[in-house]
């Protein structure tokens, strides 16, 4: 059997949002290496007897290094096993996919990418919000709320981030959004710009809060839970309620 790895998008956590191709790869896998955020009922599609290995990284918790994860991928693929690398959301959106592809290429191992539904897409869908709106939200941008040090990225395109015609999805924003919001307002984006704060997207305890960038910044500055979250801001539809 040719050495091969399937990078599979697990979506935001709801197994109903898996693609048919993702389910097929999980059912045929001999080895599944999964992130913390791709665990839960999604793994119910893995066949009995397959090796299921947790390799997720969470802030402030012990976790394998990226080098260790890449080594595991290569080692398991070289046995001829059908290997799935299960990543939360879409593998290509802030999922360290590039490093793992580089390791496979260096080892001469083939791969495929099975896309998944991003948590950002799932959040706005659950809130009944279109990401694009004719004549209003002309552009969508996906950005990270922190760099490798856990702080707000030093190099930020504030003209793009403060674009009033763009819908912006900020991943991993909780610790840094108050500072980002201050920068946005300083660069001309109104403090009452609509925002959606989405926690535990795709899980039974999902929570969606309609607010503004200024109000959300104040809320997060006052304290936050450990729940995974993202922020969407821009020309969003007003709350139907």
Is residue 57 among the annotated active site residues? yes
Is residue 3 among the annotated active site residues? no
Fold for 119-233, please state it. Answer: 3.30.950
Instruction: Give the Cβ contact number of residue 190 at 10 Å.
Output: 13
Among residues 3, 14, 35, 90, the one annotated as catalytic is: 35
Residues β-bridged to residue 34? 54, 86
pTM assigned to the model: 0.89
Angstrom distance (rounded) from CA 82 to CA 25:
9
pLDDT band for 153, please (50, 70, 90 cuts).
confident
Q: What is the pLDDT of residues 65-111, one digit of tens each?
A: 889 999 999 999 999 999 999 999 999 998 889 999 999 999 999 99
Is residue 35 among the annotated active site residues? yes
Among residues 3, 87, 163, 172, the one annotated as catalytic is: 172
Among residues 21, 36, 57, 158, the one annotated as catalytic is: 57
Fold for 4-114, please state it. Answer: Cobalt-precorrin-4 Transmethylase; domain 1 (3.40.1010)
Q: What is the pLDDT of residue 240?
A: 43
Q: Which of 202, 214, 215, 212 is CA-nearest to residue 232?
A: 212
Q: What is the pLDDT of residues 14-64, one digit of tens each?
A: 999 999 999 999 999 999 999 877 678 999 999 999 999 999 765 555 678
CATH 3.40.1010.10 range(s) for the chain read 4-114
Q: What is the pLDDT of residues 212-229, one digit of tens each?
A: 999 999 999 998 788 899
Specify the higher pLDDT residue, 197 or 56. Answer: 197
Angstrom distance (rounded) from CA 90 to CA 10:
7
DSSP state, 11?
A: B
Q: What is the pLDDT of residues 170-194, one digit of tens each?
A: 999 999 999 999 999 999 999 999 9
User: Phi and psi (nearest 5°) for 120?
Assistant: -65, -45
CATH 3.30.950.10 range(s) for the chain read 119-233
Q: How far is CA 240 from CA 129, 164, 216, 237, in A?
A: 10, 21, 19, 8
**What percentage of the chain reaches a pLDDT higher than 70?**
95
């Amino acid at each position: 059997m040719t050495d091969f790895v399937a990078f599979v998008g697990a979506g935001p956590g709801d197994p109903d949002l898996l693609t048919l191709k993702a389910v097929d790869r999980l059912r045929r896998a001999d080895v599944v290496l999964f992130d913390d955020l791709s665990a839960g009922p999604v793994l119910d599609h893995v066949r009995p007897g397959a090796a299921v290995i947790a390799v997720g990284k969470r802030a402030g918790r012990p976790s394998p290094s990226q080098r260790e994860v890449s080594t595991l991928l290569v080692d398991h693929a070289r046995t001829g096993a059908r290997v799935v690398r299960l990543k939360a959301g879409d593998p290509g959106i802030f999922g360290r996919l590039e490093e793992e592809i580089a390791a496979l290429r260096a080892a001469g191992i083939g791969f495929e990418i099975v896309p998944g539904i991003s948590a950002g897409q799932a959040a706005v869908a659950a809130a009944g919000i279109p990401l694009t709106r004719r004549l209003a939200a002309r552009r969508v941008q996906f950005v990270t709320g922190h760099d490798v040090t856990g702080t707000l990225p030093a190099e930020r395109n504030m003209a793009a981030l403060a674009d009033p015609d763009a819908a912006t999805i900020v991943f991993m924003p909780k610790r840094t959004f108050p500072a980002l919001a201050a920068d946005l307002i300083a660069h001309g984006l109104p403090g009452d710009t609509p925002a959606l704060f989405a926690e535990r997207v795709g899980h039974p305890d999902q929570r969606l809060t309609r607010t503004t960038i200024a109000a959300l910044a104040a809320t997060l500055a006052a304290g936050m839970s450990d729940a995974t979250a993202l922020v969407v801001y821009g020309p969003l539809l007003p709350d139907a309620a």
